[in-house]
Structure 1
Amino acid sequence: MQGKLLLPAYYMPPISYFQAIVQQPDEIVIDQSEHYPKQTYRTRTRIGTANGILELFVPILHGRKTHIPMKDVKISDDHPWQRLHWQSIQTAYRSSAYFEYYEDDLNYFYENKFEYLVDYNAQQVKLFLKMLKIKREVSFSETFEPYNTEEIDYRRGIHPKQVLDIDSIKPYHQVFEDRQGFIPNLSILDLLCNQGPQSKNFL
């Protein structure tokens, strides 16, 4: 694999995920064969609300297997998480400048059922690339790529516990900035709802 950018399939990925894509103009390869790791952006996202950061979690089915490939991780529908997520997103961004432009496309992910987490997340990644007007091929890995790969690998580099260099982050207007101050590296949804067509320039 030469000239590939290895990425995990994240749920409504953070802004840093798409900054990595813009900075590395290579074909995007989503690793669907990696062992599913807990407590990552694969099942969570962060949005900005009147009360600060709200984390949204996609529930998954937990089997007895401790090392399960990402492509085999199934979404649990034991409770109405999609409805709750959509209500939270609407509450957070309804008053933003551009939410209405993206609303119908986003609503698709909360009105339709998905069996596998990787499919759900990957379709979102493709949608956000389209919204950002980033033309990039996206494919899936056939086998697991070792972490010492020579490819450009962000599977471990973008993490909820990642320490950010705040001074290097370019701020933009956020809906609740007057109450919470600027909150960096939220979901790409936050940037799109607040900056719309200018989002790519921010990246």
Structure 2
Amino acid sequence: MTKSIAVDLHYFPNLEFFAAIADAEELVFFPEERYQRQSFFNRTEIRLANKVGTLTVPIQGRRPRLSLENIRIDNSQNWVNVHLRGIQSAYGKAPFYEYYFPYFEKVFQQNYENLWVLNWEMLTICLKLLGLPVKMRVHDKGQDPTWSEDIRGELMPSAPFSERDYYDPEPYFQLFGLDFDPNLSILDLLFCEGPASKGIVLKSVKKQ
């Protein structure tokens, strides 16, 4: 039977996300679900020179009842340049930055209006660069549940990863400072460790 995991779509997911889905053969996503405030749908954390910083995609209007697929990016704000400058400032001197950054820069330059589409494109690239052979599909509302595990709503910023059973940090090389910052955006791992990233993700899967 295919190992299929029902999961939320995040903006540049953190390492807990990838540890949680590391052995999946298929990821199932649910664009019709309602947007939740204080989620990872439009935010990610990167390591800057003096702190861990948050990159947030601005979204339009009030959203209490909107489905995820209908969340629109507020492109009236100069967020793309802010994110590009932030990523460059954080990782411009990282060993694998020049190899991987163009993949993401190309997507940023598309000026997407729909956050679901942007996140889908970025996650597709991240999985490819990691070398995780997992398929992505959208759940058909008319079908019966067909997944073997459901972690929707579990990976939230409101509670630390240590309270969940997915991620046990495996330290790796990071820029800036001596203390290791766990569970940052997948960008941190990819830019710092390159082809070794997949092995680090697999080592960070919490033993049950």
Q: Any gaps of 5 or more consecutive residues in structure 2?
A: 202-208
Normalising by structure 2, we get a TM-score of 0.87
**Offset of residue 99 of structure 1:** 0.6
Residue of structure 2 in register with 1:152 after alignment:
149
1:124 alignment partner in structure 2: 122
SS at match of 1:56: strand
Which string of whole-angstrom CA distances, capped at 9 and with x for unpartnered residues, describes residues 84-133 of structure 1?
10000000001111111101101113212112111100111110000001
What residue in structure 2 maps to residue 115 of structure 1? 113
Write the distance in 2 (CA, Å) between the matches of 1:98 and 1:28: 27
Q: Pick closer, same or farther for the CA change 1:47–1:144 going to 2, 3 Å.
A: farther
Among 92, 101, 113, the residue aligned to 1:103: 101
Provide the C-alpha distance between the structure 2 equivalents of 1:194 and 1:154, rounded to a whole number of angstroms.
28
8 Å contact kept, 1:83–1:110? no
Letter in 2 for 1:39: Q
Residue 45 of structure 1 aligns to a residue whose secondary structure is strand
Are the structure 2 counterparts of residues 3 and 134 from structure 1 closer, same or farther at C-alpha, using a change threshold of 3 Å? closer
Secondary structure (helix, strand or coil) at the match of 1:86 reads helix
Alignment RMSD (CA, Å)? 2.3
Report the Cα offset of residue 154 of structure 1: 2.0
Matches within 5 A, 1:74-89: 74-89=72-87
Q: How many equivalent pairs are there?
A: 197
Give the CA deviation at 1:144: 9.5
The equivalent residue for 1:162 is 159
SS at match of 2:73: coil
Question: Which whole-Å deviations, capped at 9, do the CAs of 1:118-174 have from their partners, x for residues lacking one?
Answer: 1100111110000001111111123399xx997412221111123233993211110
Structure 1: stretches of 5+ with no match in the other structure:
none
Partner Cα distance (2:64, 2:161) in 1: 30
Q: Residue 160 of structure 1: SS of its match in structure 2? A: coil
Paired with 1:86 and 1:77, the residues of 2 have a C-alpha distance of 14
Task: Identify the match of residue 140 of structure 2 among 142, 148, 153.
Answer: 142
Change (3 A) 1:144 1:99: farther
When the two structures are superposed, what TM-score results if normalisation uses the length of structure 1?
Answer: 0.89
